[in-house]
Amino acid sequence: MLALAATPPLLSKCSSSRTQWRLKVMADDDAFPSFLPKQVEKIKDPFARRLAKRIERLPVSFSGNRIMSSCIKPLIESKKSPVVLLHSFDSSCLEWRYTYPLLEEAGLETWAVDILGWGFSDLGRLPCCDVGHVAAKRDHFYQLWKSYIRRPMILVGPSLGAAVAIDFAIKHPEVVENLVLIDASVYAEGTGILAKLPTTVAYAGISVLKNFLSRLYANCLAFNDISFTTSLERTNVGRLHCLYPWWEDATVNFMINGGYNVIAQIEQVKQKTLIIWGEDDKIISNKLALRLQCELPNAILSQIPHCGHLPHVEKPNSVAKLIVEFVQENYTERLNMCLSSESLSLSLSPHGNST
C-alpha cells in the first residue's frame, strides 16, 4: 500500500535509497533550466520550484522541424506500464507539482508532457499555424512517445487534457494501454463560436487569458475553499508559460482551428478507463462524470469529496492513491493473463502433460 502524506505531499520512508538520493540531488540544485522565463525565480511554492528544475527539452522531429519539446522524465524504471501525464487547457507540466512526486515515490515510471502549443517547449522556429491543429498536437505527442517512451502507457488527462487523451487513444490505440480522465472536459463542441471570431478579436480575447486578474479569478473557480495567498501563488505558476513570445500566436491558432471535439469518439474508446472527479467542481458539473461513465464501454468512477476542478492540484494524495491502485490492478491482470496463456500453451504442446 502506498504511504501518502497529507497535503502538501512529502517523500515517504518506503522509497528506495537510490530514488531518495536522486530526488535530493534535484531538490538541492538551485539552478533552474535556462530556457524557463526568468519569473520562475519568483515562485515560492517549493513543489513548483522543485519540479521546474526537472523540466527538460528533448528534440522531437515534427512537421519537417526539430522541436525542443518540454517534459519531465522519470527518475526510475518500472516493469509496470509508464504513466504519462498531460495537462489541462493552456497549462503546463507544472500542474502536476504535488501529485508527480507521490507517483514517483510509489515506484511508478512517470512522465509529465507539455502539449504542443502550451508549456515550455521552444516554438520560436515553428510557424504558429503548425501548432494549433488537433492533428498537429496529436502527431507531436506521438513522435515524442515514439522517440522516448516507446512502451504502451497509462495516459492521464485532466480537464481538456482528457479530450487530448481520448483523441490520442482512438488514433493510436496500440500505444495507450489504459486511460485516466480527471474532471474531463470532453462534451464541448470544440472552441465553438470562438473559432469564427475575427483574428483581431481573438487576440484581444487571448490577452484576457494572459491577464493576471483573469487567471486569479479562474483559480478561485477551479479550487474549493482556496485562500487568497494560495490563489496568488497558483496564478503565478499557472501563467508562467504565457510569458513566451510565441504563446499568443499558438493559442489564437488553436482557437480559430476549432479545438477538440471528441463527443462522437467517447463510445469508441476500447481502453479500460478510470474517471476521477471532484464533487464540488464549479467548472464542469459532476453530473457529466456519470454520463461519461455510462458512455465509455469500460469505465470506473471515483469521486473526491470537498474538491474542485483540479483534484491533482487540490487533493494530490487522493489522486495519487487512485492512480497507483489502478496501475497495480492493471499490472496484476496483465500478469495473470500472461501466466494463463503460458499454462495453456504448455498444456497444448506435444511435450505437455495433457492427454
State the amino acid at position 292 in one-letter form: L
Query: Model confidence over 112-168: pLDDT tens digits?
Result: 999 999 999 999 876 655 677 899 999 999 999 999 999 999 999 999 999 999 999
What's the pLDDT at 19? 46
Question: 212-222 and 228-238 helices cross at what angle (nearest 10)?
Answer: 120
What's the pLDDT at 233? 82
**Which residue bears the cell 515550455?**
120
Q: How far apart are the C-alpha atoms of 70 and 148, rounded to whole Å?
A: 12
- Provide CB contacts within 8 A for 95, sequence distance 6+: 87, 88, 158, 238, 310, 312, 313
Among this protein's residues, is 309 annotated catalytic? yes
Look at residue 155 and give its three-state secondary structure.
strand
Query: Model confidence over 233-245: pLDDT tens digits?
Result: 888 898 899 999 9
Task: Output the nine-digit C-alpha cell for 183.
Answer: 474532471
Among this protein's residues, is 306 annotated catalytic? no
End-to-end Cα separation, the chain, in angstroms: 43
Using CA atoms, how far residue 101 sits from 50, 113, 159, in Å, is 10, 15, 21
What's the pLDDT at 72? 98
**Which residue bears the cell 499490472?**
331
**Which residue bears the cell 474508446?**
269
| Strands 299-304 vs 110-113: parallel, antiparallel or unpaired | unpaired
Report, as ranges of residue numbers, the positions in the chain whose pLDDT lies below 50. 1-28, 354-355
Look at residue 180 and give its three-state secondary structure.
strand
| DSSP helix, strand, coil percent of the chain (3-state; round to 5) | 50, 15, 35
DSSP H helical ranges for the chain: 17-28, 46-52, 99-105, 134-144, 160-171, 199-210, 212-222, 228-238, 247-256, 287-295, 311-314, 316-348
State the amino acid at position 193 in one-letter form: I
Q: How far apart are the C-alpha atoms of 109 and 111, rounded to whole Å?
A: 7
- Options 159, 185, 231, 318, the catalytic residue: 159
| Strands 65-72 vs 110-113: parallel, antiparallel or unpaired | antiparallel
What's the pLDDT at 252? 86
> So what CATH class is 38-339?
alpha beta
Task: Output the nine-digit C-alpha cell for 19.
Answer: 530514488
Return the H-helix or E-strand segment holding 113.
Answer: strand 110-113
- This prediction's pTM: 0.84
What's the pLDDT at 16? 43
Q: How far apart are the C-alpha atoms of 314 and 158, rounded to whole Å?
A: 13
Among this protein's residues, is 241 annotated catalytic? no
What's the pLDDT at 331? 80
Task: Output the nine-digit C-alpha cell for 53.
Answer: 528544475
Q: Sign of the CA dihedral 68, 69, 70, 74?
A: negative
**Which residue bears the cell 512517445?**
145
Q: Is 268 left (phi over 0), alpha (psi -120 to 50) or beta?
A: alpha
Cα angle 251-86-74, degrees, rounded to a multiple of 5: 130
- Options 88, 309, 312, 318, the catalytic residue: 309
Q: How far apart are the C-alpha atoms of 82 and 329, rounded to whole Å?
A: 14
Query: What residues does 58 pair with on adjacent strands?
Result: 69
What's the pLDDT at 151? 96
Look at residue 308 and give its three-state secondary structure.
coil
Backbone φ and ψ for 169, nearest 5 degrees, come out as -65, -35
Q: How far apart are the C-alpha atoms of 217 and 144, rounded to whole Å?
A: 34
What's the pLDDT at 173? 97
